[in-house]
Structure 1
Amino acid sequence: MIDLVQLQKRVYQNKLEKGFNVTDIYQEFCLTHGELSEACDAYRKKKDDLGEELADVAIYLIGLAEILGINLEEEIMNKIEKNESRVYENRDGVLIKVKD
Structure 2
Amino acid sequence: MIDLLQLQKRVYENKIAKGFNVTDIYQEFCFLYGELSEACEAYRKKKDDLGEELADVALYLIGLSELLGINLEEEIMNKMEKNEKRKYETINGVLTKVKE
The bucket for the TM-score relative to the shorter chain is over 0.9
Q: Secondary structure at the match of 1:46?
A: coil
Runs (5+) with no aligned partner, structure 1: none
1:92, distance to aligned residue in structure 2 (A) = 2.0
Q: How does 1:1-100 map to 2 (within 5 A)?
A: 1-100=1-100
Q: Aligned-residue CA RMSD in angstroms?
A: 0.4
1:44, distance to aligned residue in structure 2 (A) = 0.1
1:93, distance to aligned residue in structure 2 (A) = 1.9
Counterparts of 1:57 and 1:77, CA distance in 2:
19
Counterparts of 1:87 and 1:16, CA distance in 2:
43
Equivalent residue letter for 2:3: D
Counterparts of 1:24 and 1:50, CA distance in 2:
27
Q: TM-score, normalised on structure 1?
A: 0.99
1:23, distance to aligned residue in structure 2 (A) = 0.4
The CA deviation string for residues 16-71 of structure 1, in whole angstroms up to 9 with x for no partner, is 00000000000000000000000000000000000000000000000000000000
Q: Secondary structure at the match of 1:43?
A: helix
> Which consecutive segments of 4 or more residues in structure 1 shift more than 2 A?
none
Q: Secondary structure at the match of 1:90?
A: strand
Identity of aligned residues (%): 81
